Structure 1
Amino acid sequence: MLKQRLRRPWPWSRFAGVSLAAGLSAAIAGCGPADESPVPPAETTLAEQQSPLLTQVTSFGSNPGNLQMFRHVPSGMPANAPLVVVMHGCTQRAAGMEGAGWSNAADVYKFYVLYPQQQSGNNMTSCFNWFEPGDINRDRGEALSIKQMVDTMKATYSIDPSRVFVVGFSAGGYMVPAMLASYPDVFSAGAIHSGGPYRCAESMNAGFSCMSPGVNRTPAAWGDLVRSAYPGYAGPRPRVSIWHGTSDYTVNVMNLTEAMEQWTNVHGIDQTPDTVETVGGFPRKVYRDGAGRALVETWELTGMGHGVAMDAQFQFPGGTGTAACGSVGAYLNDVNLCSVYHQAQFFGITGGGGGPTGDTTPPTVNVTAPANGATVSGTVNVTADAADAVGVTRVEFLVNGEVVSTDTQAPYAFAWNSAAVSNGRHTLGARAFDAAGNQATDNDTVVTVSNSGGPPAPVTVQFASILADDGYLKANADGSGAALGFMTNLALGRGTDGKYNRSFLSFDTSSLPDGATVTRAFLTVGYSSGSGDPWSTPVGNSLVIDVKTGTFNAANTEVADWAAAATASRVAVIDRFSAGTKNSADFSGAGLSAINKTGKTQLRLGFAQAQTATQYLFVRDGANAVLTVVYTP
């Protein structure tokens, strides 16, 4: 049956002066740059859009969401196979995500793939309606249609009900938590790619703020939204893998943090990662329960924009022929990392090519040489022991969390050229994989590299702000009417006089060597007091930092500094905090270059968006404000 409801027109007035395609692209998550994936015309036929690997299913229940259903069934399927539901982004069809490699992976590891597809009659840019309450709640709208598709697959094929998973990109990525929250009795795990937390928005307009700058809530508040989706449910909750490009300007990467906070809270674990490592050049963090089970993981795709991470040269282990990760296309970014493979590993369905083994026990692994605490130089023989009841398929060796070598046969070893790193302390590790895709990492061997003439070790220095030079100014939003504020702690936000505040911190960074290369810098500030909630109006506010080589004016803080030009603007942000201390994000390259090696460096802090009511934050200055700089001589 068709969906009987009226879709509101898009707010075209927001996009006056831009093309129709660009307006649609800006309108909702997943649209991205207009020239990457133009809006498909309504009359485009499925045959022109779909992959030959996909088959349409035309009957799958009452279908209150008016969606379409496609499936991929590999040959030679075993009994009790897994099922993966894959959801596309805006302006895409099912084939858009099929191209990421899910059907190829299914052929190797023997699982079924279900591809829901949106229709332009439901959403003008073919987005799943992740912001509509009628589509994201249990047994309603699009959520129910997708669940009915799962039921149809179960009725047609031999599917293990304990191994049903859901993944999605962008708008599909926002629908993933809707399915996990609404149907924890159906899905065992999910992967959110460039999406966000459940019920981040419940209207189209709120969707804009959710996408960017993002919505900040406490982990408990986010968790309550999930728990309210199926009141009374007391069973296990799905595990969640969260992926996001750090340069995603369509869906702010803040959504990764908020989704992590939501699902760690749902699982009753904290927001401190138990494993922090680099895989394929990208940071991966794992959040485990007391038994060591990975319940939530995050992948920060450094420098990647709005898209799905893939690797066109990657061959699925255990496969034959051309079982590649996928192919480059709209929103499919070749960053030499196959997200499909790692998400399938997280689900536990990469069972060596012969189908899932049912093994969920990870192997054991231990770096055996060199010894922890050893001093090494030149070429070093690094060895590891690894064992597993099913069998170890490979061992990866890591230096400082980065994979540098792989060995597939015991004894596991590689020759490490220690001269490739700087003198000083470095961490050696090993990661073992078994035939079922389980993995374990040993990453606690620290050695000191000492090579004659080798690169110098990085140096970390900290600078406290100069209390006499610190201060804050208040002015109109355009910078006019500026006046000096009090000099006891620093005010940020909007005062009772309706003026906005900018605060200044000065640091004497002249002790940095003239020839030093600054590789990292961040600011630590301490909470003093506040009034109202300056972080929430506008929603998802944050502090931004400008850097001045020297000071904004020749003298100490002056009224003209409020809107004076910076050497580098918005070099880092400081996310919400209401007690203790908080580190900023690492400074951008421009921010690093602006740090003065011959005199003072001054930072200007202000909220990214002006508050709509009286609400402000006081932060501590002087010894309580610290600029940390890492450099190589």
Structure 2
Amino acid sequence: MKSISTLVFLAIVTALSSPVLSQSATWGQCGGIGWTGATTCVAGTQCVVLNDYYFQCQPGAASTSAPAPTSTVAAPPTGTGSPPTGSLPPAGVLTQVTNFGPNPNNVGMFVYRPATLPSKPPLIVAIHECTASAQIYFSSTQYATLANTHGFIVIYPDAPRSGKCFDVNTPQTLSHNGGGDSQGIASMVTFAIANYGVDPSRVFVTGTSSGAMMTNVMAGSYPELFAAASAYSGVPFGCFAGPNAWNSQCSTGELIQTAQQWGNEVRAAYPGYTGSRPKMMLWHGTADTTLAYPNYGEEIKEWTNVLGVSQTATTTALNNPQSAYTKTTYGDVVVGYSAAGVGHTVPVHETMDLAWFGIA
């Protein structure tokens, strides 16, 4: 019997080689509120309702179409009241949430929410580096503290493997609804939208090192979920692709491609997708010896191509936001911060993230 990972991989190959995506592959999305893709599953699978925002093709029975969304999960509320409280985690503490949807690699979900929230709160997904954890990133960054002031929810994914790095290399994670860590994190987002009243148009992602690499992965594999991203000391989407968790060619800054080649990698993650994509803020230190500085330029190439703006900076500002940092902007959708003399990693600038996200 083929393993689930093998079935997922075969489904990805089939999807990428098909000129028209008329059916969702095994473990792929087949419906839900706002879903505009295929609503029929391949033979041998059925469309299962996980929540109003996410239906999935799961093995069993014949090819079926998506059922109409039910009213079992309330749509995000409107107005100036409070979000639904029955399913919200306790306020003011980091809480682990389980059974939140498809999660093939068992990525942990930890949530922080302040005592007071608007009716449709924003959501920030904050992703930790290797050797760290959701709890460490919660404690070492200021997102939770700022959530108390500005009224947003924070999800801290927790890497499931011993080294605490995220899967940023497999074909599953680098493909929309293909599996891997990225699908687990995407499920956290759709769960929060369905159960916490999160505004689906105000969902953001950020991370450091491995978390920055995963930030690029989420922006590429699940562009429909995020409005903006901020990546601290990462690499381009697809740079680590391959059979091994660590890619030395990429980490040393020797994987150089054209902007079009990088952009094609992102577009191949979600064939046929024509919707909006997140704007990108990228940070990197010139003295980084873990994920070498050339990766910063490759990220700029990739996202300017994907977002349709020139690789030539429209503005350059020295000593911004602080001494030895140089800010470059590319239209209004890509901004980069090059930190002279800074190694791995660039310190997190939480208030600037919130400004980029439009929260504060």
Relative to the length of structure 1, the TM-score reads 0.41
Aligned to 1:345, the other structure's residue is in SS state helix
Instruction: Tell me how far 1:97 sits from its aligned partner.
Output: 2.1
Match of 1:240 among 276, 280, 298: 280
Structure 1 residues 90-128: Cα deviation after superposition (integer angstroms, max 9, x where no partner): 1000123222211112111111100110123xxx31100
Provide the rounded CA distance (Å) in 2 between the counterparts of 1:90 and 1:4.
26
Q: Does 1:63 align with 2:103?
A: yes
Q: Does 1:157 align with 2:215?
A: no
**Shift in alpha-carbon separation, 1:68–1:82, aligned structure 2, 3 A:** same
Query: AA paired with 2:251?
Result: M
Contact 2:207 2:232 in 1 (8 A): yes
Identify the residue that residue 283 of structure 1 maps to in structure 2.
326
Query: AA paired with 2:170?
Result: E
Query: AA paired with 1:201?
Result: F
Provide the rounded CA distance (Å) in 2 between the counterparts of 1:284 and 1:109.
26
Structure 1 residues 61-114: Cα deviation after superposition (integer angstroms, max 9, x where no partner): 131121110011011100111101011111000123222211112111111100
**Structure 2 unaligned residues grouped into runs of 5+:** 7-91
Instruction: Tell me how far 1:205 sits from its aligned partner.
Output: 6.9
Contact 1:65 1:143 in 2 (8 A): no
Superposed, 1:226-375 pairs within 5 Å as 226-277=266-317, 278-279=319-320, 280-281=322-323, 282-288=325-331, 294-310=332-348, 339-350=349-360
Query: AA paired with 1:63?
Result: N
What is the Cα-based RMSD across aligned positions, in Å? 1.8
Query: AA paired with 2:315?
Result: T
Structure 1 runs (4+) greater than 6 angstroms displaced: 3-6
Contact 1:136 1:142 in 2 (8 A): no
Of structures 1 and 2, the larger Rg is shown by 1
Match of 1:100 among 138, 141, 148: 141
Contact 2:287 2:341 in 1 (8 A): yes
Identify the residue that residue 62 of structure 2 maps to in structure 1.
none
Query: AA paired with 2:144?
Result: S
Q: Does 1:131 align with 2:160?
A: no
Q: Does 1:146 align with 2:159?
A: no
Provide the rounded CA distance (Å) in 2 between the counterparts of 1:5 and 1:223.
26
Q: Does 1:72 align with 2:112?
A: yes
Aligned to 2:116, the other structure's residue is in SS state coil
Match of 1:111 among 152, 155, 161: 152
Instruction: Tell me how far 1:213 sits from its aligned partner.
Output: 2.8
Provide the rounded CA distance (Å) in 1 between the counterparts of 2:358 and 2:94.
24
Contact 2:105 2:160 in 1 (8 A): no
Structure 1 residues 378-416: Cα deviation after superposition (integer angstroms, max 9, x where no partner): xxxxxxxxxxxxxxxxxxxxxxxxxxxxxxxxxxxxxxx
Query: AA paired with 2:328?
Result: K
Aligned to 1:76, the other structure's residue is in SS state coil
Provide the rounded CA distance (Å) in 1 between the counterparts of 2:230 and 2:254.
19
Provide the rounded CA distance (Å) in 2 between the counterparts of 1:268 and 1:82.
26
Provide the rounded CA distance (Å) in 1 between the counterparts of 2:98 and 2:276.
32
Provide the rounded CA distance (Å) in 1 between the counterparts of 2:95 and 2:285.
31
Match of 2:211 among 172, 191, 194: 172
Query: AA paired with 2:213?
Result: Y
Contact 2:167 2:180 in 1 (8 A): no
Query: AA paired with 1:112?
Result: I
Query: AA paired with 2:265?
Result: L
Aligned to 1:247, the other structure's residue is in SS state coil
Bigger RCO of structures 1 and 2 (CA < 8 A, at least 6 apart) = 2
Structure 1 residues 575-606: Cα deviation after superposition (integer angstroms, max 9, x where no partner): xxxxxxxxxxxxxxxxxxxxxxxxxxxxxxxx
Query: AA paired with 2:154?
Result: V
Provide the rounded CA distance (Å) in 1 between the counterparts of 2:343 and 2:229.
21
Contact 1:242 1:256 in 2 (8 A): yes
Query: AA paired with 1:165?
Result: F
Superposed, 1:395-410 pairs within 5 Å as none
Instruction: Tell me how far 1:178 sits from its aligned partner.
Output: 1.2
Query: AA paired with 1:233?
Result: Y
Provide the rounded CA distance (Å) in 1 between the counterparts of 2:112 and 2:142.
12
**Structure 1 unaligned residues grouped into runs of 5+:** 7-51, 289-293, 311-338, 351-633
**Shift in alpha-carbon separation, 1:209–1:119, aligned structure 2, 3 A:** same
Contact 1:65 1:135 in 2 (8 A): no
Aligned to 1:216, the other structure's residue is in SS state coil
Match of 1:190 among 229, 240, 245: 229
Q: How many residues matched?
A: 267
Instruction: Tell me how far 1:225 sits from its aligned partner.
Output: 0.8
Q: Does 1:208 align with 2:218?
A: no
Instruction: Tell me how far 1:137 sits from its aligned partner.
Output: 1.6
Contact 2:285 2:344 in 1 (8 A): yes
Provide the rounded CA distance (Å) in 1 between the counterparts of 2:173 and 2:144.
27
Instruction: Tell me how far 1:308 sits from its aligned partner.
Output: 4.0
Contact 1:69 1:117 in 2 (8 A): yes
Structure 1 residues 520-547: Cα deviation after superposition (integer angstroms, max 9, x where no partner): xxxxxxxxxxxxxxxxxxxxxxxxxxxx
Provide the rounded CA distance (Å) in 1 between the counterparts of 2:267 and 2:112.
32
Instruction: Tell me how far 1:5 sits from its aligned partner.
Output: 6.7
Contact 1:136 1:175 in 2 (8 A): no
Relative to the length of structure 2, the TM-score reads 0.71
Contact 1:67 1:117 in 2 (8 A): yes
Query: AA paired with 1:116?
Result: P
